[in-house]
Amino acid sequence: MSITGESSMKQVLLIITLLLMAGCSVIPSLSQPIEITDATGHTETLDGIPDRIAIAGKATIMVQDTIFMFADAREKVIALENRSQSAFSFLPLIDPGLEEKEIFEKNVGPEQIAAVQPELVLMKSFMAEQLGEPLGQLNLPVLYLDLETPEAFYQDIQTLGQVFGDKKRADEISEFYQSRVATIEENLAGVTEDQKPGVLILQYSDREGEVAFKVPPVSWLQTRLVEISGGNPVWKEIDVGGGWIVVNLEQIAAWDPDQIFIISYDGNASDVKIDLMNNPIWSNFRAIQNGQIFAFAYDFYSWDQPDTRWILGLQWLATKIQPELNSNIDIMEEVYEFYSVLYGMDQETIDANVIPILTGDIP
């Protein structure tokens, strides 16, 4: 090699070295302290990106399903709580190592959580006083997920992006949801108030043989889904406080909605719908006479909840409430996209484990 060639090579190597050094200087260390503020305004300073994460408290499925949209959750979630609507009807499909994790009993206490030595505990925001504060007294970092509205959901996704050190994935997830909401909003841009049908969402329950129908609070996700889908929630004038409220037949008759959507968290909304259609009292309601009573879509869980499936629930609702304007939404295609993009499931797995369990009025 000539002197000139050798000199040029040295210059190239020097430039590469300097570029690498410059790049390293802006890449944060995984052990560098990070400060995260969640959707509730609560702030935690962590020693670094946590490697040991526990999930605890009520509404566990909503938290875990959101967390597991990040691939690193499979390795970093080391413990979770087993509650009703069991965590284990869906998670085994996306986390083969689930059996190796610590499974907390229902209503686990702070001492049991501390025993697994988590570097971070994640839970629903309404668990702050009951469980989050006691964990804080044990010097365990806690962050809360709200999930109750689309806006809160997007913020929670960005929080998790910080937790996993993966803003790119957080942005991908947000884009998946926001683009689909935008499609519906564009479809319905010209809809006037008088073109919006009166919609009633009813949760059916028969605990201890006591049949009841309930409506959600105005501030809850179910109400927002109806509004975004181009419907008018007829129960909005009721101040239902902080939870589902029982309504009687007289109130339902007074509303006499154009459409009725039946929710059952036991997965039997289709059976309830058939019973109501054959009931001599319910058959007098306008919605039933016009064939506008629907069993809410359901796979592992009902699609109306502040779980990751709310986007499927929104798309499904939109095709029922304003079917002509939302004819560009293929709900079955969206099911495949949802499980593929958000959970990395291939078509064979979806065909074998998701499609056969779909219930409700799908498509």
User: pLDDT digit string (tens) for 16-25?
Assistant: 444 444 443 3
Q: How many domains does the chain have?
A: 2
Residue with the larger pLDDT of the pair 18 and 102: 102
Residue 57 lies in a domain: yes
Across 242-246, average pLDDT: 88
Residue 283 lies in a domain: yes
Q: Could you read off the pLDDT of 74-90 as tens digits, one per residue?
A: 999 999 998 765 557 89
Confidence category of residue 363, pLDDT binned at 50, 70, 90? confident
Note whether 147 and 251 are same-domain residues. no
Distance CA 120, CA 108 (A): 16
Note whether 218 and 348 are same-domain residues. yes
Residue 10 lies in a domain: no
Across 137-160, average pLDDT: 96
DSSP secondary structure code for residue 324 in this structure: T
Note whether 310 and 242 are same-domain residues. yes
Residue 53 lies in a domain: yes
Q: Could you read off the pLDDT of 275-304 as tens digits, one per residue?
A: 999 999 999 999 999 999 999 999 999 999
pLDDT given for residue 87 in this prediction: 58
Note whether 128 and 196 are same-domain residues. no
Across 85-104, average pLDDT: 85
Contact present, 344 and 71 (Cβ < 8 Å): yes
pLDDT given for residue 5 in this prediction: 47
Note whether 101 and 202 are same-domain residues. no
Residue 213 lies in a domain: yes
Please list, in sequence order, all residues whose beta carbon lies within 8 angstroms of the beta carbon of residue 57, skipping any fewer than 6 positions away.
63, 81, 123, 124, 127, 130, 131, 132
Q: Over 60: is that where the pLDDT of 348 sits? A: yes
Q: Where residue 91 sits, what CATH number does that domain have?
A: 3.40.50.1980
Q: Could you read off the pLDDT of 126-135 as tens digits, one per residue?
A: 999 999 999 9
Give the dihedral sign, CA 25/42/53/124. Answer: negative
Contact present, 80 and 60 (Cβ < 8 Å): yes
Q: Over 70: is that where the pLDDT of 167 sits? A: yes
Note whether 144 and 200 are same-domain residues. no
Please list, in sequence order, all residues whose beta carbon lies within 8 angstroms of the beta carbon of residue 272, skipping any fewer than 6 positions away.
204, 262, 264, 295
Note whether 125 and 251 are same-domain residues. no
Residue 17 lies in a domain: no
Note whether 92 and 129 are same-domain residues. yes
Contact present, 314 and 149 (Cβ < 8 Å): no
Note whether 219 and 153 are same-domain residues. no
Domain span at residue 211 reads: 182-357
Q: Could you read off the pLDDT of 29-76 as tens digits, one per residue?
A: 446 899 999 989 999 999 999 999 999 999 889 999 999 999 999 999
Residue 9 lies in a domain: no
pLDDT given for residue 207 in this prediction: 83
Note whether 191 and 339 are same-domain residues. yes
Note whether 191 and 334 are same-domain residues. yes
Question: Percentage of residues in the chain with pLDDT exceeding 90?
Answer: 82
Note whether 342 and 202 are same-domain residues. yes
Give the dihedral sign, CA 260/150/135/162. Answer: positive
Residue 258 lies in a domain: yes
String of DSSP letters for 73-127: HHHHEEEEE--SS-GGGTHHHH-TTGGGSEEEPTT--HHHHHHT--SEEEEEGGG
Q: Over 90: is that where the pLDDT of 27 sits? A: no
pLDDT given for residue 319 in this prediction: 98
**What angle is formed at CA 320 by the lines to CA 239 and CA 67, rounded to 5 degrees?**
70
DSSP secondary structure code for residue 297 in this structure: P
